[in-house]
Amino acid sequence: MRKLLVLAVFLMAAICVNAQGLKLEEGTYQEALDKAKKENKLVFMECTAVW
Protein backbone atom coordinates (compact mmCIF):
# COMPACT_ATOMS: atom_id res chain seq x y z
CA MET A 1 0.00 0.00 0.00
CA ARG A 2 2.82 2.37 0.87
CA LYS A 3 4.56 1.71 -2.46
CA LEU A 4 1.34 2.54 -4.29
CA LEU A 5 1.03 5.83 -2.43
CA VAL A 6 4.64 6.75 -3.20
CA LEU A 7 4.10 5.91 -6.87
CA ALA A 8 0.93 8.02 -7.01
CA VAL A 9 2.69 11.01 -5.45
CA PHE A 10 5.61 10.64 -7.85
CA LEU A 11 3.31 10.47 -10.87
CA MET A 12 1.37 13.55 -9.75
CA ALA A 13 4.62 15.45 -9.26
CA ALA A 14 5.83 14.39 -12.71
CA ILE A 15 2.60 15.61 -14.29
CA CYS A 16 2.88 18.96 -12.51
CA VAL A 17 6.49 19.40 -13.61
CA ASN A 18 5.60 18.47 -17.18
CA ALA A 19 2.78 21.03 -17.16
CA GLN A 20 5.33 23.70 -16.27
CA GLY A 21 7.25 23.17 -19.50
CA LEU A 22 10.08 20.88 -18.49
CA LYS A 23 12.25 20.31 -21.56
CA LEU A 24 14.21 17.07 -21.59
CA GLU A 25 17.34 16.82 -23.71
CA GLU A 26 19.72 14.02 -24.51
CA GLY A 27 23.48 14.29 -24.35
CA THR A 28 26.46 13.52 -22.21
CA TYR A 29 26.59 14.31 -18.52
CA GLN A 30 29.38 16.84 -19.09
CA GLU A 31 27.37 18.62 -21.81
CA ALA A 32 24.43 18.89 -19.43
CA LEU A 33 26.63 20.30 -16.65
CA ASP A 34 28.20 22.85 -18.99
CA LYS A 35 24.82 24.00 -20.32
CA ALA A 36 23.31 24.21 -16.82
CA LYS A 37 26.23 26.28 -15.58
CA LYS A 38 25.98 28.61 -18.58
CA GLU A 39 22.21 29.08 -18.11
CA ASN A 40 22.34 29.06 -14.28
CA LYS A 41 19.95 26.10 -14.08
CA LEU A 42 19.76 22.75 -12.30
CA VAL A 43 20.35 19.36 -13.90
CA PHE A 44 17.63 16.70 -13.78
CA MET A 45 19.01 13.28 -14.64
CA GLU A 46 16.80 10.32 -15.46
CA CYS A 47 18.36 6.87 -15.07
CA THR A 48 16.78 3.62 -16.15
CA ALA A 49 17.80 0.00 -16.00
CA VAL A 50 16.49 -3.29 -17.38
CA TRP A 51 16.64 -5.94 -14.70
Which pLDDT tens digit goes with each residue over 1-51? 787 888 888 787 777 665 556 677 788 889 999 999 999 988 887 778 898
Which pLDDT tens digit goes with each residue over 3-17? 788 888 878 777 766
Query: Taking the domains of the chain in order of start, what are their residue ranges?
Result: 2-39
Helices (H), the chain: 2-19, 29-39
pTM (global) more than 0.95: no
Count the Cβ atoms, other than its own, within 10 Å of residue 40: 6
Say which DSSP state 21 is in: T
